[in-house]
A and B are shown apart, each in its own frame.
Chain A
Amino acid sequence: MTSRLRSSLLAPVLAVVFAAVLCAIVLILSGANPGEALGAMIGQVGEGQIAVDIVNSTAIYMLAALAAAIGFHMNLLNIGIEGQYRVGALVAAIVGGALVLPPVLHWLVILLVAAAAGAAWATLPAILKVTRGVHEVLSTIMMNAIAFGLAAFLIRRDQFGILVGNNVTTKPIPSSGQVPGIDLGDRGTVFGLVFLSVVAAAVYGVVLNRTRFGFELKASGLSPTAAAAGGVNAKKMIVVSLLVSGAVAGLVGMPEILGRDHAYTLNFASGYGFAGIGIALLGRNHPVGIAFGSLLWAFLEKSKGALDNVGVPKEIATIMQGAIVLSVVVAYEIVKRMELAAEQRRVGQATGTAVEPEAAK
C-alpha cells in the first residue's frame, strides 16, 4: 500500500516542485527574489479576508474539478465546464429571483435548477457524440462560446437584466433563497455551500468506488472493449457521464451566487472551468487529491495580490498554474513509463527470461 501511495504522490509533488523551480528561475531572470515572493504570498494568508477567500475558492474549484474528473474517468474531455457553469448560474439566478418559496426549499430548488441547466448545456454534445460521432472537445468548445452569447443576450435589460448602480444584474434572489454563511467578522464570511463541495466530493468518492455505476464508469474508461464485453452500454455511459459532469458543473457558480452576489452579474467570474480541468489532472481524479489541488490553486489565486508589494508582477501565479498543469501531466507520463519498465524487469527476473547484465556476469 505504501508503495502505491508513494507512486501516486510522486508525480504531483514532482510537478509542483518543477513548476516552482521554473517560476523561481523566471523571477530571478526578471530581477526578483523568489524567496521573498513566496514569503509575501504566505504572509498574505494571515491578512484580512484572504484565508476565508481561499477556503471559499477552494470549494468552487473543487466542484469544477469534480465535474472534470467524472468525464476523465470515461476518457471524455469535458472542456465545456466553462459554458455549463455559466448557463447553470444564469438560469438558476433568473429562476431563483422569480420564485417565491419557503427558505430552505427555495435554495434547494435553485441548486436543482442550476444542475439541470448545466446538464442541459451538456446534452447537445452528448447527443452529437453518440449519434453523429462528433468529438466532445469540439462541440463543447463551441458550446462554451455560445454560452457567453446566451448570457450576454439574457442579461440584456429588455430580457432579464436590471440596472443596479453601474452593473447589469438579474433580479436579486430574495433572502429565502440565499444560503447563510459562517460569519467570521473581519475575517469575512465562509460560504454555506462550502459544505456542498465537501458532500459532492464524498458522494463522488463513494459512487466511484462502491457502486455499479462507478465501476462501469471506470471500466469504460480503462478499456471500452472489455466494458462492452461485460455488458456495459457504452453509449448510455457516455450520455450519463457527460450529463452528470454537466450537472456538477452547473453548481460551480452557486457558492458565489447564493452566498455573496445573490444575482448573476455582468462581472460573473470566468475561467473556473479550465482551472477545474487542471486541478482534476493534478489531483489525479481522486477526491482527496482534488481537494488539495483546489487548495493550492486557491492559494495561488488569492494571495498573489501580495506580490505587487514586493515588486513582482502577480501574473507569475498564473504562469505557475499553467506550469503545474503541464508538468504534472508530463510527470505522470514519466512515472508511468518508469513503473512499466520496473514491472517488466520484475516479471523478467521472476520468470528468468530477462537478459540482465548483472546476471550475465
Chain B
Amino acid sequence: MVDVQPGASGVTMTPPPRRQKLPGSLVFTIGVLGVVFVLAMTSYLTGEPALTSSSTMKNTVSLGLPILLCGLGGIWAERSGMINIGLEGMMILGTWGAAFGGYHWGPWMAVVSGMVFGALGGALHAVATVTFGVNHIVSGVAINLLGAGVTKYLTTLIFQPLSDNPRESPPIQQFDTFSVSGLGDWLAGLEKDQRVIISDVAGLVRGLVTGVSPLLIIGILLVVATYVVLWRTRFGLRLRSCGENPVAAESLGVNVYLYKYLAVIASGALAGIAGAALVLGSGVPIYQEGQTANRGFIGLAAMIFGNWRPGGTLAGSALFGYADGLRLSATPEAVHALLYSAVIVVGLLVIWQLYRRKWTTAMLAAVGAVAVYALYYFTDELPQEFLPYAPHIITLVVLALAAQRLRPPAADGVPYRRGEGD
C-alpha cells in the first residue's frame, strides 16, 4: 500500500489522510449483518426459504464448529511461527480419543480425552519441528499419515470387539442439548410466516438458540479466550513475538522453545476438541474411519480466510460450515439460488467501487456480475459435487485476490535454533 506519494515537484508535502481503520468488532458486525441481508434478499427474490431456514442454520453450527476449533488451533500454532499442516492428523486422533473417552466415561470425558489425544499429536509435532528443526510441513504430512495409521490400528484392536466393525466405535453418550424454549417457539412462529427479512432472521437465530450443545458454548468461549490470551496478555505477546521475530524475542529473554512447544501442544489440543465436536455432533455419535474428511485443512483455510485472527476465523468457519450445511438440508435449486447471492454481492461491490471512483474495477465487477447472472439465468442447478469444495475454491480466490492484504506472522514456518540468530 502506498500511503505517501512523494510529490514530483516537491510542492505537495501533506500526505493524504490515512484512512481510519475500523475496529475489528465493528467490521465483524457489519459483515454478519451484510451476509444475513444478502441471504434474506436471495431467499425472498428466488423463493428458496431453505437458504435461511433454522435447519440450515443448525447444520451450519454443527458442521462449522469443528472447522472453527481447528482454525483456532491453527492460529495458536502459526502465531508462534509454527506451520501446522498436521491439524488433520491431530483431529483424527481427537475423534478416536473422544470416542474412547466417551464410551467409557460420558460426553464430558469425551471432550477431555479428545483434547489429550490431539495434544499428544501436537507434542509429537513440537518435538520434531522445535527440537529437531524438521521442516514444519514435512512433519505435518507425517503426522497426518501417522494419525490415520494409529487410529486405524487402535480401532481394530479396541473398538472392533465392541462394535463388530473394524472401522467404527460403538455409539457413545450424547450431550444433553438445551433450548431457549420461549424464544424458540416465538421465532418458529415468525419463521413460518415467511415475511421478508424478519422470517429469515428468525430462522437463522432459531437455528442458533435451539438444541444448543455445551460444545458450542465452549467453542465460542474459546474464540474469546484465544483473542484475550494471545492479544491481551503478556504471555500472548511473547508467544506472538516468537512468530514475528524469534531472535528478537530470544534477545529479550523469552524462552522461544518453551513458547513454541506450548503453542503447538495447545494447537493439537484444540484440533483434538474439534475431533470431539465432530464425533459428538454427528447424528449417531460414533468414531468412524475417514470421518474428518480433510476438515483439518478446511480449518486451516478458515484461519487464512480470517487473516490469522480469531474473529475472522469465526467468520470463515461460519461460511464454510454454511456451504457444508446447505448441502445436507437444501435442494439443488437452493444451492443454485446462491448464484443469485453472488450477483447481489458483486452488485454491491460495483456500487462501492463507483463510490470510490475506481472506474476500471467497477467495470470489471459489473461484467462479472452480468456473467454470474447469466450463469444463474441459463442453468437450473449447480453440480452438487462441487458444493463440498466451495471452501477450497473460496480460499483460492481469497488467496489470489487478497494475498497482499493477508498478514501471516512474519517468521511463520521459518526454522529457528537458539543462539543462531544474526
Contacts and interface: CB of A to CB of B under 8 A. Distances in A.
A321 B153 CA distance: 13
A278 B385 contact: no
A323 B149 CA distance: 10
Interface in B384-414: 385-386, 388-389, 392-393, 395-396, 399-400, 403-404
Contact of B396 (A124, A133, A319): A124
B421 interface: no
B128 interface: yes
- Which range holds the interface residue count of chain A? 35 or more
Contact of B128 (A274, A281, A326): A326
Contact of A333 (B134, B147, B157): B134
Given A316-B153, A318-B153, A138 B304 contact: yes
B142 to A, nearest CB: 4
B260 to A, nearest CB: 16
Name the residue among B124, B157, B166, B300 with the largest chain A CB count within 10 angstroms.
Answer: B157
B156 interface: yes
A325 B141 contact: yes
B400 A333 contact: no
A99 B393 CA distance: 32
Contact of B393 (A142, A152, A320, A330): A142
Interface in A321-361: 321-323, 325-326, 329-330, 333-334
Interface residues of B, number: 44
Given A137-B137, A142-B392, A330-B128, A30 B157 contact: yes
A247 B396 CA distance: 21
Interface stretch (A52-60, A87-95, A143-151, A225-233): A143-151
Nearest to B297: A141
A322 B134 contact: no
B137 A79 contact: yes
A142 B396 contact: yes
A277 interface: yes
B392 A145 contact: yes
Contact of A274 (B144, B300, B399, B403): B144
Nearest to A131: B400
Contacts of A4: none
B65 interface: no
B6 interface: no
A153 interface: yes
A156 B132 CA distance: 47
Given A142-B396, A315-B156, A329-B139, A323 B132 contact: no
A30 B393 CA distance: 43
A321 B393 contact: no
21 contacts: A124-B396, A132-B404, A137-B83, A138-B304, A141-B392, A142-B301, A146-B386, A146-B392, A149-B389, A274-B141, A278-B141, A278-B142, A278-B145, A313-B156, A315-B152, A319-B149, A319-B153, A322-B147, A325-B142, A326-B128, A329-B142
Interface of A: 26, 30, 77, 79, 124, 128, 132-134, 137-139, 141-143, 145-146, 148-150, 152-153, 156, 274, 277-278, 281, 313-316, 318-323, 325-326, 329-330, 333-334
Interface of B: 83, 85, 124, 128, 132-135, 137-139, 141-150, 152-153, 156-157, 166, 294, 297, 300-301, 304, 383, 385-386, 388-389, 392-393, 395-396, 399-400, 403-404
